[in-house]
Amino acid sequence: MAVYALVALALIAVSGTGPAQPPIGPLPDGVATIVAKMAERPVQFTSFSSPRDKGQWVDGRVWNPRKRAFLRAGGEVTVSPDERWQATLVRTRPGNSQPKVHLLDRKSGHTTKILLPVSTDRSRPGNHLITRWPTWSPNGRRLLLNVFEPGYAPRSEGIVLIDVPSMKSRFVQIKRALITGAGFQWTRDGEGVVVRWGKNGKSSIRQYDLKGALQRTWHVGGRPASQGQGTFSPSGRRFVTACTTAERSACVWDTKTGKSVTRIKLATSLTWTSVLGWYDERHLLAPTRQGVGIVDLRGHVVETLVKVSDRQGFWPRFDARGNG
C-alpha cells in the first residue's frame, strides 16, 4: 500500500452559513445522486470517493457548508458528532514524511496540524507504518487512527489517539490484530475499542481499553462496521459486523451475551461496499439495490438515501451526529 503525498487541506467552514448537509441532487462527475433530505438525521453524509474522481480513493471530496459544494480533500476526512471538528489524515510523500492530521475548527476556521507518533517500518527503510481511517469517538472527545504493517491481510501495530480540544496525541500498542476494512472501532461509551482478531474465515472480535489492555472477546464472525453510529447501536446493547466471506451480510449480535440477533443478506447487485454501520437503534446503513440506504433488522429497505448506478464504484462516508 502506498504512503501518500502531503497536501495541505484548504477548506473553510463556518457554522451557521449555508446548509450543514448537501441538498438533493447529483454528486460531482455524476457518480451518484442524493435522493433524500439529509438534514436532521442521526447521521451526516460528509464525503465520498469514486474511481471517476481521478482514482483518488483516499481523497475524494468533502462537503463544505460555506461553499455549498463538495471540495477536494487532502486525505481521509471525518466530521465530529457535534459537527464542529473536521479531521483530515493528509496524504504524505513516499519517503520520510511523518503522518499528520489537520484538525479544522469549523466554528473559528482555524486548522491545527498534528504530527502523529507513528514509528518507521523496518521492512521499508525511511517509510513510516501505514496510518489509516480516522474515526471519532461517539462523544467527539477523541480521534482514533489505525497503525499497521503493509501486506495482504495486514496486522496491527496499534492505534493513535488524539484528545480534543487539547490536541495531544499518543500511540497505544496493540499488535497482531487483523486489519480488514476499517480496523479498530469505538465502543459505545468511547472508553474502549474493538477489532477483528484471527484470520479471514475464522475470527473473533476483541475489546481493548485505551491503554491497550484486553477486556473481553466475542467469538463471532466478521469485522466491526465503521460508519454512521458505528459498530454499536446507540444504546450499546447490540453490535454489527460485516460478515460472510464477501461481506454480503450484516450480522447483528447481542453485546452482553455475544449471541446472534439476526443475519441480514444485503443487496448483491452493487460491488463497491458492504454493511456501513448503525443508522439508529433499529436500523442499519447498508447498500440497497439502488445505492445506499436505511435497512431494518429484517433486511427490508426503509429508504434509499443515495442512488448509485449498477456496478458504479462509489465509497460514501456517513458520520454520526450527536450521541444517537
Concatenated DSSP letters of 162-179: EETTT--EEEEE--S-B-
Which residues, in sequence order, are bridge partners of residue 159?
Answer: 146, 172
pLDDT for 202 = 82
pLDDT at residue number 96: 58
Question: Residue 279: which of 261, 259, 302 has the closest Cα?
Answer: 302
Q: How many CA atoms lie within 13 A of 305 on its CB side?
A: 23
Distance from chain centroid for Cα 91 = 17
- pTM attached to this predicted model: 0.89
For residue 309, the Cα-to-chain-centroid distance in whole angstroms is 23
Residues of the chain with pLDDT under 70: 1-19, 51-59, 93-96, 125-126, 268-273, 310-312, 323-324
Domains of the chain, first to last: 25-320 (2.120.10)
- Please give the pLDDT value at position 9: 30
**Contact (Cβ atoms closer than 8 angstroms) between residue 56 and residue 90:** no
The 8-class DSSP code of residue 28 comes to: G
Output the pLDDT for position 161: 98
What does the radius of gyration of the chain's CA atoms come to, in whole angstroms?
A: 18
